[in-house]
């Protein structure tokens, strides 16, 4: 029997255009494209995995740092001493972040919780504080609250000059501003005491350019005129309370103090007052330094008037304070030999004002220099140990007042 059903079967129909045979080169190119796509996909997936892992890691680290979690506090006595800075207006959280950034505490939340209710932390003053790395948050709070751990604190009294001075009678030495700065920078870190040396500060004061020291424009000419004498910066660092970074270099310390002092002087109206008096701001500052050294606060404005009156009549000022200044001493009366020395400050032999201020005047002395009392006085002398000072225009009366001072043991000679 024949397979007639096979002969009756429908033949398959071709659909679409007929296949084209690929050359060997085309097949190789196609294979390369497939491999390239696979490689690109693998690289993309690998990069995505790395990004996801990194995000999870960093997010976890930030979360535990800020909000706690396992390992949210250190234990023990710490590793190394470190100095951190508390800025003006810092919240407890901001302080905690500074501590965390310096590896002092493990995370911010734990520190904030430890500091909660601590009045010393809520009232903490801006400045620099010595703590230790990797200490418990409670320990960090205790250290910041302890005044003994505050470093870099500088308090400059009114009337101080750059160099140390000695009282001729008592031999007592009073620290100058440069010595005070040096002592303020001293800090013990891991048993080693570090300080910015006074001589380094003095050398920088004389060698650095006015611009490097942030000397204000209104003082630059006078500072330049003094050459490399470090006393060219006298009076440009205002009295008051300062915070000094113990790790800063001498130039940075001086420039910060000078620039901030200049802004303080200018905010007090120094520039406008100088213009009104037809004087330079530097001259007003110099007058204020003389007032500071020559008088008691109750007589500041009168002494300022004496200075202006003598300048107006082209008389030498003849102040013993200007004789003593370069000698780094304190003495009520001076000798004929002292008064005859030719120095840039000696107003017995130098007409007009001394070359620089002779100290850092306080605000009351500056106000007196800017707003002198009304009067025609040319002379003044302190006549007793209580500080009573007599003012007059007449030289004969001044001689009589000097005699009173002698009788009271205030001085042996006077101007």
* pLDDT tens per residue across span 170-211: 889 999 999 999 999 999 999 999 999 999 999 999 999 999
* pLDDT tens per residue across span 258-297: 999 999 999 999 999 999 999 999 999 999 999 999 999 9
Sequence-ordered list of residues with C-beta below 8 angstroms from that of 337, at least 6 positions apart, any chain: none
pLDDT of residue 262: 98
| Structural domains of the chain, ranges and CATH numbers in brackets | 80-151 (3.30.1490.480), 155-264 (no CATH), 269-408 (no CATH)
pLDDT of residue 169: 84
Distances (CA, A) of 40 to 29, 35, 324: 16, 9, 84
Whose tokens are 């535990």? That residue is 64
Whose tokens are 């001075």? That residue is 165
Percent of the chain with pLDDT over 90: 76
Say how far apart CA 338 and CA 7 lie, in whole Å. Answer: 144
Best CA proximity match to 86, nearest among 195, 239, 243: 243
- Judge whether 324 and 255 are in contact, CB under 8 Å: no
Is the confidence at residue 144, as pLDDT, over 90? yes
pLDDT of residue 24: 62
The residue-averaged pLDDT of 44-59 equals: 54
More confident call, 346 vs 415 = 346
* pLDDT tens per residue across span 207-237: 999 999 999 999 999 999 999 999 999 999 9
Percent of the chain with pLDDT over 70: 81
Residue 370 exposure: Cα atoms within 13 Å on the Cβ side: 21
pTM, two decimals, is: 0.80
Mean residue pLDDT across the chain: 88
pLDDT of residue 29: 65
- Judge whether 226 and 355 are in contact, CB under 8 Å: yes
Distances (CA, A) of 36 to 24, 25, 28, 178: 19, 17, 12, 72
DSSP 3-state of 377: coil
């Amino acid at each position: 029997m024949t397979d007639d059903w096979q002969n009756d079967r429908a033949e398959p129909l071709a659909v679409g255009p007929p296949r084209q045979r690929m050359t060997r080169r085309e097949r190789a190119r196609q294979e390369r494209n497939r491999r390239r796509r696979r490689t690109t996909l693998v690289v993309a997936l690998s990069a995505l995995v790395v990004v996801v892992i990194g995000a999870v890691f960093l997010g976890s680290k930030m979360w535990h740092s800020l909000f706690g979690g396992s390992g949210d506090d250190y234990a023990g006595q710490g590793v190394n001493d470190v100095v951190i800075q508390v800025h003006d207006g810092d919240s407890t959280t901001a302080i905690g972040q500074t501590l965390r950034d310096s590896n002092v505490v493990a995370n911010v939340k734990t520190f904030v919780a430890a500091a909660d209710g601590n009045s010393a932390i809520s009232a903490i003053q801006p400045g620099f504080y010595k703590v230790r790395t990797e200490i418990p948050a409670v320990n960090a709070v205790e250290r910041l609250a302890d005044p003994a751990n505050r470093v870099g604190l500088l308090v400059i009294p009114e009337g101080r000059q750059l160099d140390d001075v000695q009282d001729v009678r008592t031999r007592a030495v009073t620290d100058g501003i440069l010595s005070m700065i040096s002592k303020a920078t001293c800090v013990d870190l891991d048993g080693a005491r570090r300080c910015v040396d006074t001589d380094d500060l003095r050398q920088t004061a004389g060698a650095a350019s006015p611009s490097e020291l942030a000397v204000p424009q209104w003082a630059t000419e006078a500072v330049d005129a003094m050459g490399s004498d470090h006393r060219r910066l006298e009076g440009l660092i205002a009295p008051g309370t300062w915070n000094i970074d113990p790790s800063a270099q001498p130039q940075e310390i001086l420039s910060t103090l000078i620039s901030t002092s200049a802004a303080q002087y200018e905010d007090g109206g120094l520039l406008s007052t100088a213009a009104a008096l037809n004087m330079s701001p530097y001259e007003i500052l110099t007058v204020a330094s003389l007032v500071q050294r020559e008088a008691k606060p109750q007589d500041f404005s009168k002494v300022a008037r004496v200075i202006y009156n003598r300048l107006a009549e082209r008389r030498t000022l003849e102040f013993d304070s200007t004789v003593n200044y370069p000698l780094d001493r304190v003495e009520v009366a001076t000798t004929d030999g002292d008064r005859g020395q030719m120095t840039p400050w000696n107003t017995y032999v130098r007409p007009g004002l001394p070359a620089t201020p002779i100290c850092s005047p306080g605000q009351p002395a500056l106000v007196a220099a800017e707003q002198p009392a009304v009067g025609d006085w040319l002379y003044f002398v302190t006549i007793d140990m209580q500080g009573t000072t007599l003012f007059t225009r007449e030289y004969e009366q001044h001689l009589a007042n000097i005699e009173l001072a002698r009788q009271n043991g205030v001085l042996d000679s006077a101007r």
